[in-house]
Amino acid sequence: MPRILVLGGTSEASRLARALAERGDEAVFSYAGRTLSPVTQPLPTRIGGFGGADGLAAYLRHEKVTAVIDATHPFAAQMSTNAVHACAQADIPLAAFERAPWQAAEGDRWQHVPDIEGAADALPDGARRVFLAIGKQNLGAFAGKAQHHYLVRLVDPPKAPLPFADVEVVIARGPFEADEDRALMRKHRIDIIVAKNSGGTGARAKLDAARALGLPVVMIDRPKVPARKTCARLGDILHWLDHSARLGV
Ligand code: 3Y8
Ligand code: NAP
């Protein structure tokens, strides 16, 4: 009987958890513990780090895990890197369940930047009203650009003051809707949006709203992660699980 570890925290991970629960697979769902009350999953769930790649390898051996599915967010590069190293160490099959990056389409005004710092550098010198829809962990990169007004969207109320003099916070957990994001951006008179190229559907509402409003988007490209087997469709990841993972490939 396979014992599957799902590294979660995304819509894909939740869809996979439902599929595994319906099939009766023996699986554990894992959150980092970044949010106060994560969505409940239909699988036994653990919350918190493993203690680096070595800690994850020890967990895999101790829990007799037979396959790992990394369904974390494309920007969770440290977790994904640790998973590649830990599974190699413990000789356990690993596959990533990851959605494709967004591609700009007709009417999009995107400027691609390589990373968070590049996004801060890309903001114009003149004061703007900036929608920072990138969560909480990377806001510090924008602290030096104090001439702007920031609209920041977070999952939970910030524990400490944000590094901005002129900021407004919206507390909301996605997935978001385009018409609501359009209303939000109009209400706050947003000039420019900063987004991570997360892909998927849960975070793309702001891009559809930006296109409708003719607003520019600073699009942060994904960080690099080591090569690993990757599937973008639920059917493919289940097929991998039922065939390759069983054979240990
Ligand atoms: C803790 C679990 C599900 C998963 C839902 C998806 C969609 C809604 C959209 C915006 C962008 C952002 C952020 C976002 C979205 C989904 C998905 C997604 C973006 C939860 C969740 C956890 C997290 C962690 C959180 C980060 C933050 C990023 C907010 C749960 C709700 C900006 C990414 O406060 C913090 O420290 C938040 C940290 C990592 C990025 C950051 O750097 O701050 N996600 N998000 C997971 C864990 O502990 O392991 O609370 O239920 C999950 C979801 N967030 O099951 O339906 O699939 O992407 N999450 C981004 O894409 O830019 C919001 O505002 O427009
Ligand atoms: P990260 O920077 O890649 O990981 C930092 C550390 O957090 C990891 O080394 C690991 O700690 C722990 N960790 C991360 N994901 C974990 C998981 N699913 N289960 C157990 N431990 C985990 O990760 P992150 O960007 O902070 O993302 C954290 C979580 O939020 C992930 O589940 C991710 O899917 C979700 N998320 C992130 C984003 C984003 O924009 N980054 C967006 C949506 C959802 P140890 O080294 O101690 O093992």
**Which tens digit of pLDDT belongs to each residue from 14-67?**
999 999 999 999 999 999 999 999 999 999 999 999 999 999 999 999 999 999
Identify whether 105 is part of a domain. Answer: no
Identify whether 104 is part of a domain. Answer: no
Question: What confidence tens digit (pLDDT) does each residue in 79-129 have?
Answer: 999 999 999 999 999 999 999 999 999 999 999 999 999 999 999 999 999
Half-sphere exposure for 196 (CA within 13 Å, toward CB):
22
- Residue 79 alpha carbon to ligand 2 centre in Å: 6
Q: What is the domain-level CATH number for residue 198?
A: 3.40.50.720
Please give the tally of structural domains in the chain. 2
Whether 38 lines ligand 1, by a CB cut-off of 6 Å, is: yes
- Residue 183 alpha carbon to ligand 2 centre in Å: 31
CA-closest residue to ligand 2 atom 22: 32
The whole domain housing 173 covers 110-220
> Confidence band (pLDDT; 50, 70, 90) for 247?
low
Q: Which residues of 129-156 are buried (b: 16+ CB within 10 A; e: fewer)?
A: bbbbbbbbebbebbeebeebbbbbbbee
Query: Which ligand approaches the C-alpha of residue 79 most closely?
Result: 2
d(CA 116, CA 124): 15
Model-level pTM?
A: 0.97
152 and 84 part of one domain: no
Query: Is pLDDT at 175 greater than 60 in this prediction?
Result: yes
114 and 187 part of one domain: yes
Cβ atoms of residues 249 and 224 within 8 Å: no
pLDDT on residue 132: 97
138 and 170 part of one domain: yes
Cβ atoms of residues 56 and 39 within 8 Å: no
Residues in contact with ligand 2 by the CB-under-6-Å rule are 7-10, 30-32, 34, 49-52, 55-56, 72-73, 75-79, 82, 135, 196
146 phi/psi in degrees, rounded to 5: -80, -5
Q: Which atom of ligand 2 lies closest to the CA of 80?
A: 3
40 and 131 part of one domain: no
d(CA 51, CA 111): 36
- Residue 1 alpha carbon to ligand 2 centre in Å: 28
Question: What confidence tens digit (pLDDT) does each residue in 176-214 have?
Answer: 999 999 999 999 999 999 999 999 998 999 999 999 999
